[in-house]
Structure formats: C-alpha cells, structure tokens
Structure 1
Amino acid sequence: MLTNPTEIFAYLVFLIFLIYQASQVKFLSKFFKYLPPVIWVYFLPMLSSAIGIIPRESEFYNWTKIYLLPSALILLLLSANIPVIIKLGLKAIVMFFTGSFGIIIGGPIVLLIFKHWLPPDAWKGIGALSGSWMGGSATMLAIAQSIGTPESLLAPLIVVDTVVGYGWMGVVIFLSAFQDKVDEFNRVDKTILLELNKKLQDLKEAKKKFLTFVDLATMIFVAFVGGILSLKIGNFFPQAGEIITHYTWGIIIATTLGVILSFTKLSELENSGSTHIGNFMLYLLLASVGARANIYGVFETPIFMIMGVLWILIHAMCLFIVGRLIKAPMFLMATSSQANIGGPVTAPIVASVYQSALAPVGLLMAVAGNIFGIYGGLLCSQICYLVSKF
C-alpha cells in the first residue's frame, strides 16, 4: 500500500493522466462519451482504496480538501466574464432556486414515505443531507452539528451523498448527448445561449497564447497565496455557531477575490490556460474525495439509497417542469442541478460538458449554493422535524 503523501499524490496524478490519455484513443471515444473521464477520476481512486493500493485516510487528502478548493476557485473565476454571463438573466436564477426548492420539499416527502422503515431521528440525517445537496459537504457537516445529527445516521448518509450524488452527476452528463432534442421538445430559444458560448469560446481562441514561465508562476502565486490569504482572513470573521464556519468565510472571500480579479489584467491569464490549471486542481480534489469513499458502504444502506434516489428524482422533476414552463435550455437545468447536488467541484465540469465555454456559469451557481445551502438546509431540517411528529 502507498502511504506516503507524495506517493499518493503521484498515484492520483498517474490515474488522472491515464484516464485522459485513454479518452483520446479513437476506438474508446464512444465509451468516454457516455461515461466521461471525470466519472473515472472519482471511481478509480475509490476502487484503488477498496483493494488496498492507497489508504482511505491520509494527510494528503486533508491538505487537498482545505487548500485546493479556494485556490482552484480563484483560477476558475479569473475567466468569469461577468457582464457577458449576466445576459443569461432571470432564467438562470429561476432554475437555480427551482433546483434548491426540489431539495427542500423532496426531503420531507421522502421522510413521509419511508419514516416507518427509518429510525425516529432520521429527520436529522435528512436535514444534514439536504445541506450537502444545496451547499456541499461543509454545509452538511455544519447543519449536522447544528441539529445534532448522530454519527450512526451521518455515516450511511455520507455514502448516499457520494454514491447517489455522483451517480446523478453521471446521469446528467449522459443526458448532455440529448440536450438538443430536449430543447426542441421544450421549444427553447437557444439564441442567447449559443451566442454567449460562441462569444466566450471565440475570445478564448483569439487570445490564446503559449504558456510562459512567468504566466505559470503568476497563476500558482495568485491561486495559492490568494487561497491561503482568504482562509486566513476568514479566521477573523465571526462564526455563526456551527453553521457559518471560518472555512466557509474563507471560501466566500476566495470567491469574491476571484470575481474581483476577473475585472483586472490578471484575467488575461485565462489566455495562457489558467482554467486548465484550475480544473486540474479540481480533478485532483475529486480523486482525493473518491479515495476516501467506502465502496462497501453501499450495501449497508439500501433503504437510505432508495430514499436518496427518489429524492433526486423529485428534484429533477421540479427542474424539468419549471424548465418547460419558462422554456429554459437544458444547459441551465443540468447546471442548476449540479450546482445544487455537486457544488463548486463538479458544477463547472457539467457546465462545460453542455457548453464548452460556460464553466464559470456553473461555478457561480455553485458558489451561490454554498451561501444559500445553509439557510435552505436549515429550512428543510425544520420541515422534516415537523413531518417526523405526524
């Protein structure tokens, strides 16, 4: 077993390299079209830890969890052309909050259906999971501590969060192949979306240049110094009990910093590939998350797994109904869903699968989820508590 942090780092980098090299092989192109590389970036480390190649716990995983996310956020947001993205307008906002609404009402509904097969305090677990599906794992843990979710419930729900959440991501990515047909069925006017995607893509192509040493050094400096400073400054902000932590403040500050820097000359780093560096950081973080997941836990939580699947379907139904009513493109449905369920690690990836130049849209939606998820999760918890008393 590889236990040294440097060895684990090298192994995960090797897996990411191997997966993306394989995706370039012509006869495997159809395979990776329906099971994209990002799924394997998560699954193969999970399998590797299950068979004992790498451990499930390591200081390296803790390091990636703390430092890579704020650093990657800053790099990815450098390319956020805010004035252009604003053109997506009201539909993007409506779809994002529709996704959150589906999670908030879905929790009480599945509790009402399955409560006879669940422990009496199951509402605490559902409340915690709703936090994850609107604001990420940090929000899940914050809400769990706030409402007193017992470890006996939290452990299986983390498995549900991982397996159902990333399983849904696979479904969302798979459905990207049918977005034109769905948009045609919903009579969507995609003019603005396609123009926006083309404009951002053309800007990238027109200004693309070779990566220089100075550019690379600047990217690393901006990412890690900006990320660490954001976390340090976050320590000076007050914690709201266990809900808004110092780390949460750090992520909010890093996000704000990235948006501010996108209006400066540093945004030109995108022309040298800052998004690729940011995405690689996200993939390394995703691989680390996968390595910590317990693949065997899936078989220990069948009732929770079924509950999670139904919950996701309620969320998806809300998105599809509202999306059809307001004629929102499937890109917004998918990105809104992943911004809620997956968060800032995977939402930009899903957005770029649907529209190659619009990863910042997914990131900005997910960041909004990090903030709103805390309040939405507490609201869902309160409703679940009331349902548990019936």
Structure 2
Amino acid sequence: MKETLIQADDSITLWGIIIIWASVSIFLEQRYSWASKVTGAIIALVGAMALSNFGIIPTESPVYDAVWSVIVPLAIPLLLFHVNLKKIWKESSRLLLIFLLSSIGTVAGTIIAFFTLRNHIPFLDQLSGIFGASYIGGGVNFAVMAAKFETPGEIISAAVVADNLMMALLFIILMMIPALHFIRKRYPTPHVEEVEKNQSDDDKTLAESFWKRKEVSLKDMALSIGTAFFLVIVSLKIAEFFAGIIPSGEEASFFNNLLNGIIGDQYLVLTTLTFVALAVFPNYFSGLNGSQEIGTYLIHIFFVVIGIPASITLIVQTAPLLLVFAFIIVAINLTLSLIFGKLFRMSLEEILLASNANIGGPTTAAAFAIAKGWRQLVGPILIVGTLGYIIGNYIGTFLAVWFGTLM
C-alpha cells in the first residue's frame, strides 16, 4: 500500500473525513441545482475517489470495513420502516424477471470479454468465473470464487482494483441515466416522476424539496436507531446460526446451498425480519419520524466508502486490461438489461436496479434506490438481489470450467 497523508490506523481522522464529506455532499445536493442533478451520492463517491487517488487517504482501512459491517446493515431497516408492504410483492415479481434477464447480460458479456482478451490476460478462465459470479451477485461472490479457484494473489489484487474502479464508474453512469432526456422518452419512469412531483414551485432544489423539514423528536431518533440495531443484531445471530449448521460450498448439495443462501444470509434475514416487524407492529413504525433521514445519511457515508478503493493509478500500474475486461461485461449487461426491459415494458427504475443488483449486489442496489428516492423499491431489490448470491457461483463455476478447456 502506498504512503498517504492520513494513515490507515488513524481511525478518528478517517471517520471524520468520511462523515464530513458525506455531510458536504448532502448540503451541496440541497443547496445547488447542479449538485441536485448530479446527486449527493455521486458527489460523495467522486470526492472519495479524489481523496484516495491524490494520496490523502489510504485505499484500505478497518474504518471502511466498519462501514460495511455496521453502517450498511443499520441503514437497511431504517429505510424500510415506512415501506408500503402492499406494493412489495408486485414490485418483487417484476424485479425478479428483469434481474434474471439482466444476469443473461452478464453471462453474454463474460463470454465476449473472454474471447476478446484470452490471449492477453493470464488466468482469464478463472477470472471469468470470478467476474461472472461477482457480476450476478456482487462482491460476496467475488470472495467466494477467488478462494475456490486459488488464483494467484497478485492477479486477485489487480482484479479487485479493476472491480472497485469499474463499480465506481458504474454508479456514476447509473445515477446519470435517469436524467438523460433521450432515455426518459423511451422508458416509463413512475418512481422518478413521483419524486419530481414532490418538488415545490419555489427556488428549492429537487433534493431539498423531497427532504423537506419535518417534526422529529428525541424519542423518534432513539426508537428508530434502537429498533434498527435490535433488528440487525437478531438477524445477524439468526443468519450465523443457520449458516453454521447448514452445509454449503462445492461439496454440499444444491438444496443445502440454496437453503444456506436464503436463511444464512444476514441481509435477507434482516429484510425478512423487518417486514415481519412492520406487519405485526404497523402503528409503531408509522409513528417513527426521522428514520428515512437517518438511513439516507448513513447511505451517503456508504457511497463515500465505495469511492475510496477506486485507485486509478494502481489499475494503470497493475493490469489496465482487467479494467477493459470488466468494462465489456458491465457494458453488455447494462445494454441487454435496457433492451430486455424495453421488450417486457419494465420501468427504467426497475431496469437500472436489476443491473445494479447483478453487478454490485443487493446492498449497493438498495443504496442506489435510496439515493434516488425510490423508497418503494428498496425492499424488493434487496429480496430479489439476494438470489444472485445463490445462482452466481454456479454460473461462474460453469464459465470457468468451460473456458479452462479453451486456454
């Protein structure tokens, strides 16, 4: 790791930089029209990329791990407290279809990328399996497949850097697409229109109008955060218990892997537990003001951390062709997702979230939905996206074995 102005073990400074920049991103989004169009999430991400690429903060730190392990799980229930449960099943079924169609784009992209670059990148059969699995279920699958194939460490390190940079670029592209007039004319955008409808006629930006001031008490904040922590802890313990007793991996049966992926996954258990709580105690949750705001603030912290590992210098020094490889897969995934979505009359929001859930996993897709204000899609994409954890590794393994015969 290269020397930086702030060291990886300087926790308080790194936490401060992350939180301050997340706050600045929200302020800019609500203060200036240009920033509102760009979105606070992109400002958070691009600013973090600049801080790491100019050597101010390190690309790795336990602080960033804490954001993934604590901040992200905490944000999910907070954003679900006011979800309309009646719309969940309808949205989930539509998202499931486009998610599966989007995964076809990943497979097609991986095949094309492999045959394009197989004579230029070592271990590309294994890398194709890793990226194919990862771009159907997110980073969780990347780690599992890298361990499975025992790919050389230096190759994996370069692949991780390429993946991080590609993810950062993808988020920027996905955030910008709904603002393109060419795209808006060709796809229905009900959730975008709902957000825009809440904009008043004064000089406020879209973001400021959407997040207008509301009455929030100390009790609201205490109960919101306390309840979210309770749900996170219980879901983690439940998932750990079942993950420990249900066999999984290459030696386990398909049914056991499926079961482990469903009730052994913290995020799916957390989402399910939150929905159960919403159904049993609807009045309690409807009375909690401020949970949306707290959850959204935490998600902006998450977007800062997403941008940090995207080291442009490192990818240029190590393996620029790996970035080209990842770009081909992502470009074909997004292109086919838009084509399939048009054929099946999907909304633009559903298409973009499905592509995001494939490439980045359900957590990043939920963060995307939150950042854009598409609150009714947060729960469904978390549920549907978790399917990628299950099917991604099987598809990645198949691709790696097939390509291995061609190397």
Q: Are 2:249 and 1:241 equivalent residues in the alignment?
A: yes
Which of the residues 76, 83, 86 maps onto 2:86?
A: 83
Tell me if structure 2 keeps the 8 A contact 1:231–1:247.
no
Equivalent position amino acid for 1:332 in 2:
E
SS in 1 for 2:151: coil
Q: Percent identity?
A: 21
Which of the residues 347, 352, 372 maps onto 2:365?
A: 347
Alignment of 1:178-257 (within 5 A): 178=180, 181-182=182-183, 184-185=185-186, 193=190, 197=194, 209-239=214-244, 240-241=248-249, 249-257=265-273
Tell me if structure 1 keeps the 8 A contact 2:117–2:325.
yes
Return the alpha-carbon distance in structure 2 between the equivalents of residues 23 and 118 of structure 1: 41
TM-score by length of 2: 0.81
Q: Are 2:387 and 1:386 equivalent residues in the alignment?
A: no
Q: CA deviation at 1:253?
A: 1.8
In the alignment, which residue of structure 1 is the partner of 2:45?
Answer: 42
Give the stretch that moved more between structures: 278-287 or 289-298: 289-298
Q: Are 2:360 and 1:308 equivalent residues in the alignment?
A: no
SS in 2 for 1:383: helix
Tell me the alpha carbon deviations over residues 225-284 of structure 1, each in whole angstroms, 9 at most, x when there is no partner. Answer: 321232233222235238868996222221211222232234315x61212211222222
Residue 224 to residue 90, structure 1, CA distance change in 2 (3 Å): closer
Q: CA deviation at 1:213?
A: 0.9
Q: CA deviation at 1:57?
A: 3.3
Q: CA deviation at 1:167?
A: 0.8
**Residue segments in structure 2 that go unaligned for 5+ positions in a row:** 200-209, 251-256
Which of the residues 363, 376, 384 maps onto 1:368?
A: 384
Which of the residues 12, 25, 28 maps onto 1:19?
A: 25
Residue 246 to residue 128, structure 1, CA distance change in 2 (3 Å): same
Equivalent position amino acid for 2:289 in 1:
S
CA RMSD in angstroms, aligned pairs only? 3.2
Return the alpha-carbon distance in structure 2 between the equivalents of residues 117 and 156 of structure 1: 15
Which of the residues 288, 291, 294 maps onto 2:311?
A: 294
Residue 353 to residue 252, structure 1, CA distance change in 2 (3 Å): closer
The size of the alignment, in residue pairs, is 375
In the alignment, which residue of structure 2 is the partner of 1:135?
Answer: 137
Q: CA deviation at 1:65?
A: 1.8
Return the alpha-carbon distance in structure 2 between the equivalents of residues 129 and 147 of structure 1: 12
TM-score by length of 1: 0.84
In the alignment, which residue of structure 1 is the partner of 2:207?
Answer: none
SS in 2 for 1:24: helix
Return the alpha-carbon distance in structure 2 between the equivalents of residues 329 and 130 of structure 1: 25
In the alignment, which residue of structure 2 is the partner of 1:62?
Answer: 65
**Residue segments in structure 1 that go unaligned for 5+ positions in a row:** none
Equivalent position amino acid for 1:56 in 2:
T
In the alignment, which residue of structure 1 is the partner of 2:202?
Answer: none
Q: CA deviation at 1:40?
A: 2.6
Q: CA deviation at 1:62?
A: 2.2
Return the alpha-carbon distance in structure 2 between the equivalents of residues 196 and 260 of structure 1: 30
